[in-house]
Structure 1
Amino acid sequence: MDASTTPTPAWAGKIYTNGWQVAHGGTQDVREAATGAVLASAGLADREDVDAALQRAREAGAAWAATPFDQRAAVIRRAAALLETRSAEFIHWNVRECGSIEPKAQWETHATVEQLWMAAALPMQADGLQFPSALPGRSNSWRRVPVGTVAVIAPWNFPLLLGMRSVAPALALGNAVVLKPDVQSAVTGGLLVAQLFADAGLPPGVLQVLPGGAETGDALVRHALTDMVSFTGSTAVGRGIGEACGRALKKVILELGGNNAMIVLPDADLDGAASCAAWGAFLHQGQICMQAGRHLVHRSVANAYAEKLAARAQALVVGDPARGPVHLGPLINDRQTAKVHGIVQASIAAGATLVTGGTHDGRFYRPTVLTGVTPQMPAFGEEIFGPVAPITVFDTDEEAVALANGSDYGLAAAIHSADLGRATALAARLKTGMVHINDQPVNNEFQVPFGGMGASSSGGRFGGPANLETFTTTQWVSTLAKPVPYPF
């Protein structure tokens, strides 16, 4: 599919609010990550667009919340079925717009279909509990109810999946949603999603899609008609959103950055560990919050581990994913490329050894392995968000735990060892929301609650039964057949 020869889509240059509309904030080019070529245009929502969308969401949301659960579930199921039939379109835009290799785009689309099917089951779950009362004749019902209007601010790296993990359960549980995709992934993560739900029969106003930058997001977060914010992105931005929501006493869930440790104990299967490490460090050019960002390796096996990982890195093909099969595509923009290269060069200047990689052709960065990395170096302390594997050695389990916990982040970790008891005991000491033994940290099973600790999360969780907690609030209703006489 060539975007230059296809008919102009309905969403071109538009936002989705009361149907496709011209945005007050103008338009922005949709550019190919690999080449910078203009593929299309998307509307940019401003504060006026945000205000109008939230007014519509408040009106439409009340009727949607009152819609019988089976009808809400049916819309979500139709969206899942439509996404399956339109998968080629979503994959095409994910490759061109986001720089995804085709297998990653295929997996993301399939995983999003699964998320939709799972969300469709939420409305039929038990929505409350009955509690006894000390007052004769009183019935106490505690039930879950929709939050209201949920603002979903989604990132560019897995824009379809990470947007839909909030959009789908929020809608299924009776909320209205205003989705703000990143402008770098406005089509994949937003405009195609709007059309998907419109065609699935979602009533107007229940989902609105407003591409935009920081100003759009700020307006959405601070608006009085936004009842909840779900944000996935950097910790720096998340702190500001959390502060604004806290001041407004507004529900918020934040899934933020990570600098995830992969711990390799001396009895590990080094070939298996290196395979996991290459996947965890280099998948999608390392642009994943769960990336294996710090490789903590026992001194006795560090050299062998580095050699095996470097060999895998050197075998990976880097190039434009739209023009042939490759393992790694481009970094998302020039700014990110400069950041990654700056961290690598600064760490080498501080004493790290470059084993392989460390170069780039435009946005195409070679998978990189560094050894001799210490906690004082940028490659250890910063979230790189690029295809870089920094290796730091340790001598004892206590030192490994201290190194792993020596980060403000606490999203995910991995441990490799032939001794599952030792690895499990080590896992219990890590301050991370997720630990994977004899695997790598880039894992997501949607039936299992997902989230981090520390600077990686506000403490909320996505997925499985956690969605019921995340996308609802609760109400206590007590009933009496007739009023009780009180002393006053």
Structure 2
Amino acid sequence: MNLKNNNKNFIDGKWVDGKSDIYNLLNPYDNSLITKIKLANKEQVSNAFNAANDAYKAWSSNPSLRKEVLNKVKNYFEDNQEEIIKLLALESGSTYVKSQLELNITIECITASINNVDEIGVTSLSDESSVKESICYKKPKGVISSISPFNFPLFLSIRTIIPALALGNAVVHKGDIQTAYTGGIIIAKALEEAGLPKGLFNMLLADPKEIGDIMFDHPLIDFVSFTGSTKVGMHIGAVAGSNLKEVALELGGNAPFIVLSDSNIDAAVNAAIFGKFIHQGQICMIVNRIIVHEDLYDEFIEKFVEKAQSLKFGNPLERDNVIGPIINESQINKIKSIIESAKNKETTLALEGKQIGNILTPTIFTDVDNDSELAQTEIFGPIASIIQAHSDEDAIEKANRTEYGLSAAIFTSDLEKGEELAKNLEFGMTHVNDQTVANDEGAPFGGIKKSGIGRFGFPYVVDEFTELNWVTVRKADENKYTREFQGEHDL
């Protein structure tokens, strides 16, 4: 994987410097400079959409080429795993455990996409005896606009880009510029080396303040896929909707982790630690509220605090560390302000974290009011809020009391009860005896309420990136219309 001096945009099959400002890409662990990037301007974004629109029709009619290219892309990620893991650490502060997880699900997504290349095509809806042949064509949407965040930059980009390409579309992609390499450059490099025809994938390094709404209101866009905050997602949905453009929006979360009175407490503690502190809590599915039955409440807190205190932190390049840096200073200050606000409201503090450089160690609040600002805020940091439930019903009711609905988890030794209660949780995804951060390419990934609309995973994502075209062909019948006017109707 040779990325030396490769810090450019990829437009219409060419690596080009942007025509806007210079951006300093920094390592979030020590603020050291990784590279300088010349960002794309609005004209270059428009050029990317023009290139994509010109390219996709020939691509969509060639399934064998799509399979060949995507298999080479898969090989690229398999062959360059160590370099990619290092880039994730340097650029996004991802620890080894998190980077390995992200790379694994990235490869799984590519594999699933290859297996679904033939989902576009034709289906007969009539039998041979019908006087009218009825046909359904499943066709690519056309030009997909893809916008991804910094936290899982590789996977949250790939899960739109590769399925969209597999299903015959072209893609214009803008990742977060804080993760320019893992959220864009290495993906473009993989597709280029795999022989993807020019124009089908365009990768932009751009500042939203510079390019405005063009990624979701350009006239050539046929579909918008966005992963990010609810606030931005609502804006994108409003703008795209006003132009009748379809969207898939995976937005914020406030995941409850419910521990019922019959739970295996040690298993629950271990899962909650992983689900709360992986990637420093910077995941939309992260455990945000830990709701524990009163029978296990004190014991859970004791064991959870002990485990959290033992977590190793530091440079994510060192594989033993499981907590790395927060992505930037602004996010650090936001998390610290949430902590200070909760302390000022005299919320019980079971473990007070520290700031060591750009790392925040775990902070744990207990006896948290489920309706408090602390409990109802998507924190995106290593802060745990533990809430007491007085019954199973109380736990479910508290879990549902949020405007979000992405992921949830329930711990119980009664699997039948766990599954039944899971159906009563108002979330797009619920996991029994597991934590909330999960992905399965064969399952419908997505949320409800203010956590977004649309689903990833196969075959569900096929509906997002394709459209249906109904065609009928009436067999020769010269007297049809004469008969209909005489009252002999044959529809």
Could you say which residue in structure 2 is the equivalent of 1:433? Answer: 428
Partner Cα distance (1:202, 1:26) in 2: 29
Partner Cα distance (2:123, 2:92) in 1: 44
Which segments of 5 or more consecutive residues in structure 2 lack a partner in the other structure? 486-491
* Counterparts in 2 of 1:22 and 1:483: CA distance versus 1, 3 Å: farther
Q: 1:209 aligns with which of 199, 203, 209?
A: 203
Are 1:174 and 2:172 matched, yes or no? no
Partner Cα distance (2:143, 2:360) in 1: 40
Residue pairs, 1:17-166, within 5 angstroms? 17-66=12-61, 68-125=62-119, 127-132=121-126, 136-166=130-160
One-letter identity of the residue aligned with 1:255: E
One-letter identity of the residue aligned with 1:457: G
**Over residues 431-471 of structure 1, what are the superposed CA-to-partner deviations in whole Å (9 max), with x where a residue is unaligned?**
0011111111111111212111111111x110121121111
Partner Cα distance (2:129, 2:44) in 1: 51
Alpha-carbon deviation of 1:34?
A: 0.6
Are 1:341 and 2:344 matched, yes or no? no
Alpha-carbon deviation of 1:217?
A: 6.2
Partner Cα distance (1:144, 1:351) in 2: 58
- Residues 142 and 169 in structure 2, CA contact (< 8 A), matched pair in contact too: yes
Partner Cα distance (2:3, 2:408) in 1: 45
Partner Cα distance (1:47, 1:125) in 2: 34
- Residues 101 and 329 in structure 1, CA contact (< 8 A), matched pair in contact too: yes
Q: 1:246 aligns with which of 238, 241, 257?
A: 241
Which segments of 5 or more consecutive residues in structure 1 lack a partner in the other structure? 2-6
Alpha-carbon deviation of 1:157?
A: 0.5
Partner Cα distance (2:35, 2:386) in 1: 41
Partner Cα distance (2:318, 2:267) in 1: 31
- Residues 123 and 137 in structure 2, CA contact (< 8 A), matched pair in contact too: yes
Are 1:219 and 2:219 matched, yes or no? no
Are 1:278 and 2:299 matched, yes or no? no
2:30 aligns to what SS in structure 1? coil
- Residues 409 and 453 in structure 1, CA contact (< 8 A), matched pair in contact too: yes
Alpha-carbon deviation of 1:9?
A: 2.4
**Over residues 307-354 of structure 1, what are the superposed CA-to-partner deviations in whole Å (9 max), with x where a residue is unaligned?**
111011000011121356311000101111111111122122223211
Are 1:466 and 2:463 matched, yes or no? no
Quick one: percent identity of the two aligned structures?
Answer: 36
Q: How many residues align?
A: 481
Partner Cα distance (1:96, 1:374) in 2: 38
- Residues 262 and 295 in structure 1, CA contact (< 8 A), matched pair in contact too: yes
Is the deviation greater in 394-403 or in 291-300?
394-403
Q: 2:307 aligns with which of 303, 312, 315?
A: 312
Partner Cα distance (1:432, 1:13) in 2: 40
Could you say which residue in structure 2 is the equivalent of 1:327? Answer: 322
Partner Cα distance (2:207, 2:95) in 1: 25
- Residues 262 and 440 in structure 1, CA contact (< 8 A), matched pair in contact too: yes
Partner Cα distance (1:483, 1:166) in 2: 46
Partner Cα distance (1:49, 1:27) in 2: 15
Could you say which residue in structure 1 is the equivalent of 2:186? Answer: 192
* Counterparts in 2 of 1:217 and 1:311: CA distance versus 1, 3 Å: farther
1:124 aligns to what SS in structure 2? helix
2:213 aligns to what SS in structure 1? helix
One-letter identity of the residue aligned with 1:161: F
2:452 aligns to what SS in structure 1? coil
1:446 aligns to what SS in structure 2? coil
One-letter identity of the residue aligned with 1:464: F
Partner Cα distance (1:128, 1:369) in 2: 55
Partner Cα distance (1:275, 1:221) in 2: 41
1:321 aligns to what SS in structure 2? coil
Could you say which residue in structure 2 is the equivalent of 1:4? Answer: none
Q: 2:282 aligns with which of 276, 287, 307?
A: 287
Alpha-carbon deviation of 1:46?
A: 1.8
Alpha-carbon deviation of 1:372?
A: 1.1
2:134 aligns to what SS in structure 1? strand
TM-score w.r.t. the length of structure 1 is: 0.95
Partner Cα distance (2:207, 2:404) in 1: 25
One-letter identity of the residue aligned with 1:396: S
Partner Cα distance (1:378, 1:341) in 2: 14
Partner Cα distance (1:194, 1:483) in 2: 54
**Over residues 394-434 of structure 1, what are the superposed CA-to-partner deviations in whole Å (9 max), with x where a residue is unaligned?**
11222212211110100011001111222222111110011
Partner Cα distance (1:449, 1:47) in 2: 34
Could you say which residue in structure 2 is the equivalent of 1:389? Answer: 384
* Counterparts in 2 of 1:203 and 1:289: CA distance versus 1, 3 Å: same
TM-score w.r.t. the length of structure 2 is: 0.94
**Over residues 345-394 of structure 1, what are the superposed CA-to-partner deviations in whole Å (9 max), with x where a residue is unaligned?**
21222232111133212321111211011034222010001111100111
